[in-house]
Amino acid sequence: MISNFINLEWKQFFRSTYWQKSVALNLLLAFFAIFLVGMFLIMGISLFPILKKEFPDADPFKTVNDILFYWILTDLIIRFFFQKLPVMSVKPLLTLPIKKSKIIHYVLGKSTLSFFNFLLMFAVIPFGIMLIINDYNVIMVLFWIFVLIDITLIINFLNFLIENLAAKTELSFLPIIALVGIFYALNYFDIISFATLLSNGIIAVADHPILILIPIAILAGLYFWNFKVLKEKFYIDNSLKSKTHEAKTTDLAWTNKFGDIAPFMQLDIKLLLRNKRPRSSIFILIIGLLYGLFFYPNPLYQDKVWLFILVGIFVTGIFLINFGQFIPAWDSGYYKMLMSQNIKYEQYLKSKFTLMSASVIIMFVLSIPYVYFGWNILLAHFAAAIYNIGINSHVIMFAGAYNRKKINLDQRAAFNYQGTGAVQWLVGIPLMLVPILIFLPFYYFISFESGLLALIVLGLIGIVLHQKIMTLITKKYTAVKYEMINAFSQEN
């Protein structure tokens, strides 16, 4: 039975159009993974000597245990955004003679093979070996490694519970932020010192192997909690049934000012407001807007002006990046219809462009209060906004021509936690890195202002050439029309 499942997964993975079209992205991901593994390996090997040298009085073993708490919090956040429960498309299996519990055990069991679970081991095992080399008790070290494996799996299953909870609320990322925030705060203000508690706990287990039963019990508990949650959801009238909201009709007459692109603007706005997936990209605006607060108040970053550019691009462009990277996949559900209608591709794309540009301007205006941290920041945000409108918007729309992944707008939240995998985040990187790379030489060789000017000039060139670029992009889209129709008409 298990081999059947694996066979299905294999086929699902390699037979999707998406895989075939994005070998390059997959390679990039693979490199990224290898890079991370390498970093963790180096860390695992070098941590012991470094700690020994930097803190000769402290026991490196204890120090590592002390910081584990922070790793767990970080791991939880990373997993929340990147790791998804590997649920196969279960619906067709439901009526087949397969025990439900078997399917669920398989899904949960498979999740333990996630990359995230192995990553920490690449650091833990070499560190453990270093401990043994340095005359720590072998049994103790082995149990320590065992506890950490256990903890990793606990995080693994805890994450799915949190995601499940998050999927039920509109502000999907709030529970995780709140949870991690509370733990961090309680620890930071020494109300409950989780870091020490955890550290003592782990050391206790390492010293008294019988205590290992406690983390194992926690793990088993979480596993069966997950099992229960999934089992409840394996009914088509539960997780697969949609709640019907009463439809609100709006005519959005004000968009008529935009002339011939008005119908598409209205469609896009309704798309954003009425579907779960795109709606979350509106909520992300709030995070984006507050992003600067991570950096600007901190004096450490005051002289790192390239950060202003990064934050500026991010703050003014967060909607652009979030919404833009799925053009034209947002419309994948009815792409065939659009293509058989009497529309001009250019108007269709122009509506998206207008929407993105408007968001950049709005975000810039909303980010004006950052001037409190210095005029330079406002200037940098302004330059970033112009660059976003002139360059990034066009780049992201051009990249959209390579979009082959259908988005299912109606998809219920139950099996579609975040909807964005690691790939989608990677797309954003060049959009933020390139402007910094343009800015830096001007900054080092001439001045801060000249760097900003370079970005503004580039942005203005993009805006001036807008018509020409749009014609080019339209041509590209028309050229791949049949491929897109074909890819969008496939599920998964």
Partner 1 sequence: MIQTTNLSKNYGNVTVLNIEELTIPKGQTFGLVGNNGAGKTTFFNLLLDLIQPTTGQITSNEIRVNKSEDWKTYTSAFIDESFLIGYLTPEEYFYFIGDLRGRNKADIDTFLEDFEEIFNDEILNKKKYLRDLSKGNQKKVGIVAALIGDPEVIVLDEPFANLDPTTQIRFKKMLRSLSENKDITVLVSSHDLNHVTEVCERIVVLDKGEIVKDINTSPETLTELESYFAV
* Closer to partner 1 by Cβ: residue 79 or 405: 405
As a whole number of angstroms, the distance between CA 51 and CA 64 comes to 9
Are the beta carbons of 349 and 474 closer than 8 angstroms?
yes
Q: Helices H, strands E: what count in the chain?
A: 22, 0
* Closer to partner 1 by Cβ: residue 105 or 270: 270
* Closer to partner 1 by Cβ: residue 339 or 465: 339
271 binds partner 1 (CB under 8 A): yes
Closest CA to 455 of 432, 478, 483, 471: 432
Q: Which of 247, 300, 303, 445 binds partner 1 (CB under 8 A)?
A: 247
* Closer to partner 1 by Cβ: residue 53 or 243: 243
Specify the amino acid at residue 255.
T
Q: SS in 3 state form for 176-188? A: HHHHHHHHHHHHH
Helices (H), 55-137: 60-82, 91-94, 100-111, 115-133
Q: How far is the CB of 97 from partner 1 (least distance, A)?
A: 27
Are the beta carbons of 219 and 153 closer than 8 angstroms?
yes
Q: Which of 52, 100, 231, 270 binds partner 1 (CB under 8 A)?
A: 270
User: Under rule CB under 8 A, which residues in 307-366 are in contact with partner 1?
Assistant: 333-337, 339-343
Specify the amino acid at residue 364.
F
244 binds partner 1 (CB under 8 A): yes
489 binds partner 1 (CB under 8 A): yes
As a whole number of angstroms, the distance between CA 357 and CA 447 comes to 28
Which region among 140-148, 247-255, 319-327, 350-358 touches partner 1 (by CB under 8 A)?
Answer: 247-255
As a whole number of angstroms, the distance between CA 384 and CA 394 comes to 14
| In the block, residue with structure tokens 């320590």 | 144
Q: How far is the CB of 272 from partner 1 (least distance, A)?
A: 10
* Closer to partner 1 by Cβ: residue 273 or 371: 273
Are the beta carbons of 327 and 352 closer than 8 angstroms?
yes
Query: How many Å is the maximal CA-CA distance in the chain?
Result: 77
User: Under rule CB under 8 A, which residues in 213-242 are in contact with partner 1?
Assistant: 242
Q: How far is the CB of 336 from partner 1 (least distance, A)?
A: 5
Q: How far is the CB of 286 from partner 1 (least distance, A)?
A: 23
As a whole number of angstroms, the distance between CA 364 and CA 319 comes to 12
Site string for partner 1, 165-204 (x = CB under 8 A): ----------------------------------------
CA angle (179 as vertex; 279, 112 as ends), nearest 5: 85
* Closer to partner 1 by Cβ: residue 233 or 406: 406
CA angle (259 as vertex; 346, 281 as ends), nearest 5: 65
Q: How far is the CB of 122 from partner 1 (least distance, A)?
A: 44
Q: How far is the CB of 95 from partner 1 (least distance, A)?
A: 19
As a whole number of angstroms, the distance between CA 210 and CA 201 comes to 13
485 binds partner 1 (CB under 8 A): yes
For residue 49, give both structure tokens: 């000597």
* Residues in CB range of 358: below 8 A, 6 or more apart: none
Q: How far is the CB of 266 from partner 1 (least distance, A)?
A: 7
Q: How far is the CB of 488 from partner 1 (least distance, A)?
A: 8
Are the beta carbons of 239 and 412 closer than 8 angstroms?
yes
As a whole number of angstroms, the distance between CA 25 and CA 248 comes to 40
274 binds partner 1 (CB under 8 A): yes
262 binds partner 1 (CB under 8 A): yes
Q: How far is the CB of 170 from partner 1 (least distance, A)?
A: 16
* Closer to partner 1 by Cβ: residue 338 or 434: 338
As a whole number of angstroms, the distance between CA 52 and CA 54 comes to 6
* Closer to partner 1 by Cβ: residue 52 or 276: 276
* Closer to partner 1 by Cβ: residue 80 or 415: 415
User: Under rule CB under 8 A, which residues in 453-482 are in contact with partner 1?
Assistant: 482
Q: How far is the CB of 343 from partner 1 (least distance, A)?
A: 6
As a whole number of angstroms, the distance between CA 237 and CA 56 comes to 62
Which region among 86-94, 121-129, 259-267, 307-315 touches partner 1 (by CB under 8 A)?
Answer: 259-267
Which region among 52-60, 126-134, 188-196, 483-491 touches partner 1 (by CB under 8 A)?
Answer: 483-491
Residue 419 Ramachandran class (φ > 0 left, ψ -120 to 50 alpha, else beta) = left
Site string for partner 1, 404-423 (x = CB under 8 A): -----xx-------------
Query: What is the binding site for partner 1 (CB under 8 A)?
Result: 242, 244-249, 262-263, 266-267, 270-271, 274-275, 333-337, 339-343, 409-410, 482, 485-486, 489
